[in-house]
Structure 1
C-alpha cells in the first residue's frame, strides 16, 4: 500500500512501510467488507474488522499482538501463507490468488481466496493478506454439486427417457433416453440440438411451444411428435417439458419423451377388432337376407339358359356375377361363424406339413420356391387347427400371387417369451405406407378380383386365438407378415 506521489503537508510512507497517514485511506481499509490482515514474525500487527471476524477474534484489538496460529489452523498441504520468506513469496511481488481452507479454534471451517503481499512493517519483513471469505459460496457449490448428483441419480433411475437442455442444446440424457434414441453412448446425444432428434415436420411447432413454455410457469403441455433415432428410424412419441432451473440467467429445461408406437399399434388393432366385431354381427343377418333372393336369381338364370338359346352370352355374364355375389356372401358367413369354444394343442410342424402340399402346385405355377424353417423346440400351441390352416393358407396364397415372376417365400417359426412367432417373407414388389395401413380393412384389396374380406377374416381368427397379426413392407423390398400366438 505504498503511496509514491508527493503531496505538500502530507507525510508519506517510505520503504514499503504502512503508515496510515491518510485518514480516508485508513477508513477505506478499516471498513472494507473484505478481510485484510498484516502479520510479522507470525504475530498479527494489524487487522480490520472483517479480518478479525474471519479468524474468529471478538474484535481487531483482541487479535493484534497474538500469533495468527492462535486463531487458525491450516489443514492444507504445502507452503503456508503464514511463513514470510518461504518458497511461496518473492519480496515485493504479490502471490497469485490462492484458495485456502482454515479451521478456527471454535471448529468452524473457513475457506478464503487469499493474495499475500510481502511488505516491510516498521523495518521488519511482514505479510499483508488480502482475503475474500468464500465459505458460504463453497457451501453453496458443494450443495449444488450434491443436488446435481442426486438429480442425476434420480433421472438415471427413472424408466422414462429424460433430456435436460439449455438454449436447445442437450446437456444431459439419462440411460432410458440413450436407449430410446438407440445411441451408442451419451456422446452421441449430449452437445447436440434437441431438434436433431425431432422430425423436421415438427420443428416450427416445437420451437413455438418452447417459446411459449419459457414465457409461462406451466411448462410445455403433453404433445405428440415424430422423433428420429440415431439410426434414422422414425417413431411416434409423447413429450412434455418444463423449466427445471436457471443457470447463469439461462433457462434449463427437462423434457420427457415416451415412445407410443406400440400404444398406437394396439389402439389401431383395437379399433380394427371392434370393426370386425360389428361387421361379424351384421354379416349373418345380411348374408341371410341376400342368400334367399340370390338362390332364386341363380335358379331363374339357369332356367333362362335352358329355355332361350339366343341369350347364352348374357346368361353367362349373369352367372359369373351371381357366383361372385355368392362368394362374397359365403365370406360374410365365414366371418360370422362362431369360434369353437374348445381348442386342442397342436404342433406347428404338423400344421405346415399338411399345408405345404396344398400350396406347392400354386407356387410352382408362379415359379415360387417355398422355404420352411421351424425351430426344433417350438412348444405346442392351443388352437383350432383348421382355422389356423385357413389363416396360413391365405397369407401364403397372397405372398405367392405377389410374385408373378417368381421368387422365394420363406416361412420361419420360432418361440419368444410366452409366444410363438410365425413370419412369412416374400420377395414381391412391396406395399406403400398408405396401403399398408389399410390391410385388413373391410373391402380393401390390392387385387383386381379381391373382396378385402380374406385378411379381415384372418385378423379375426388370430385375435380370437389371443394373438396378433402385423404387416411390414417397403416398396421394392417385399412384405413380411408376422403372426404371434400365445403358447
Structure 2
C-alpha cells in the first residue's frame, strides 16, 4: 500500500500535504514516513474499521496494533454519546469538504481524559480515509496552569489594597459593636451574635487575602505529618460532633519525617477537613489516611458528601471559585499554593453524589524543596 506524507501544524491548524506516488521512489519510503511520524496516523475504511495505525497512534491510545486493527474508529473512545456524535459530525464534514480539522477532549478506554487535535482527509489512498491525531494533553495542562497563574497574580496585586480598605472600617465596626454590647436588650442578643459572627467571617476572608498578598517566609524542617494531622483532628473534633460527622484516621506506622512547614500544612489540613465536614450537613464519615507511596508521603481525605461534578473539578483552587453557598474559594486556593511551595501536589477525585477524595502528595527527599 502506498502511504502519503501528512504534516500536522499546531492546535487548530491542521495542514495535510499529499505527495504523489510518482514523485517518490518506493512504497518502502512511504511506509517509513508513516511509521516514523510523531503524530498518530490511522487509515480506516468506509465502515469505520481501522485498516492500519502507526506506532504513535498505538502510543496515544495505549493499545497494540493487533488489538486495534478491525476495531471501529468510534469505539476507540470510551465516552458519552454526544462526544461520539461530535466525532461522527467531524467525519461527515470531512467527507463533504475534503478535509476537516478539530479539537476534542475525550475520556479514553482506560478512563484517562485527553485533549486531541485531529484532522481527517477522506479517500486518500486505495479508497481509505486518513485521520491524523496529535495528543495535546500536556500543552492543555500548561495553558490551564498559566491561566490559573495569571489569575493568582491579579488576585495577589489586588489583595493588599482590598484588605487594607476593608480592614480600617472593620476595626471601627468591631470596636463600636463591643461598646454597644452592655446596652443590648435580651431580645436583641441574637442580632448581636449574627453581626459579630459575620464580622469574624469577613475578618477571616481578609486574612486569606493577606496570605496571598504578603506570603510569609516559610522555614522548612523535618516534621511528623501524622502528628500535625492528629493536632488538626483534635482541633476540628468539636465541629465534627456538631455536624454528626465521624473522623476516622488511618495512619501508617513508622512513617519517615517530611521536610515541611508544620503550620502551613496544618492550615491545608484544616481547610480540607472543614470543607469535608461542611459538605455533609446530615452527618457521615471522613476517612483520613496517611501512608508512604514510593518516595512520597500521601495524605488522603475522603468524605461522603454530595461530590463534585467532573466538569467542575479542574476549577478547584481558582480564586473565588467555590461549591459552597457562602464560600470564597480562597481557602482552597491558598491550600494549593502551600502544597505547591512544598513541591507537592493535590489531586481530587469525585463523583457527583458519591463523595470527594483529596490526595496530597509530599516529597520525602528534603533536597527537593527549593
Specify the alignment match of 1:274 in structure 2: 150
Larger radius of gyration: 1
Any unmatched runs of 5+ in structure 1? 1-142
Superposed displacement of residue 390, structure 1: 0.9
Specify the alignment match of 2:73 in structure 1: 194
Superposed displacement of residue 395, structure 1: 1.1
Superposed displacement of residue 232, structure 1: 6.2
Q: What's the C-alpha RMSD, in Å, of the aligned pairs?
A: 3.5
Q: Give the match's secondary structure for 1:340.
A: coil
Superposed displacement of residue 193, structure 1: 3.2
Query: Is the Cα contact below 8 Å between 2:43 and 2:128 reproduced in 1?
Result: no
Matched, 1:154 2:58: no
Matched, 1:286 2:168: no
Superposed displacement of residue 147, structure 1: 4.7
Distance in 2, Cα, partners of 1:299 & 1:166 = 78
Distance in 2, Cα, partners of 1:302 & 1:228 = 57
Specify the alignment match of 2:288 in structure 1: 410
CA deviation map 1:337-366 (0-9, x unaligned): 323154223343443344343344544553
Specify the alignment match of 2:135 in structure 1: 258
Query: Is the Cα contact below 8 Å between 2:120 and 2:129 reproduced in 1?
Result: no
Superposed displacement of residue 276, structure 1: 2.3
Specify the alignment match of 1:172 in structure 2: 52
Distance in 2, Cα, partners of 1:387 & 1:451 = 19
Q: How does 1:372-451 map to 2 (within 5 A)?
A: 372-374=250-252, 380-403=257-280, 404-416=282-294, 420-451=297-328
Structure 1 pair 203–435 and aligned structure 2 pair: CA distance change class (3 A): closer
Specify the alignment match of 2:3 in structure 1: none
CA deviation map 1:261-289 (0-9, x unaligned): x4434433332233223212322221122
Q: 1:298 aligns with which of 165, 169, 174?
A: 174
Superposed displacement of residue 384, structure 1: 1.7
Query: Is the Cα contact below 8 Å between 1:407 and 1:427 reproduced in 2?
Result: yes
Distance in 2, Cα, partners of 1:252 & 1:444 = 44
Q: How does 1:37-186 map to 2 (within 5 A)?
A: 144=27, 146-147=28-29, 150=32, 154=36, 158=38, 160-167=39-46, 168-183=48-63, 185-186=64-65
Matched, 1:319 2:319: no
Q: Give the match's secondary structure for 1:178.
A: helix
Superposed displacement of residue 428, structure 1: 2.4
Q: Give the match's secondary structure for 1:332.
A: helix
Distance in 1, Cα, partners of 2:112 & 2:193 = 53
Query: Is the Cα contact below 8 Å between 1:162 and 1:176 reproduced in 2?
Result: yes
Matched, 1:227 2:227: no
Query: Is the Cα contact below 8 Å between 1:202 and 1:226 reproduced in 2?
Result: no
State the TM-score, normalizing by the size of structure 1.
Answer: 0.58
Structure 1 pair 297–154 and aligned structure 2 pair: CA distance change class (3 A): closer
Any unmatched runs of 5+ in structure 2? 1-25, 78-82, 366-370
Instruction: Give 1 or 2: higher strand fraction.
Output: 1
Specify the alignment match of 2:228 in structure 1: 351
Matched, 1:457 2:334: yes
Structure 1 pair 414–304 and aligned structure 2 pair: CA distance change class (3 A): same
Matched, 1:371 2:249: yes
Count of residue pairs the alignment pairs up = 331
Query: Is the Cα contact below 8 Å between 1:399 and 1:409 reproduced in 2?
Result: no
Query: Is the Cα contact below 8 Å between 1:412 and 1:423 reproduced in 2?
Result: yes
Query: Is the Cα contact below 8 Å between 2:271 and 2:331 reproduced in 1?
Result: yes
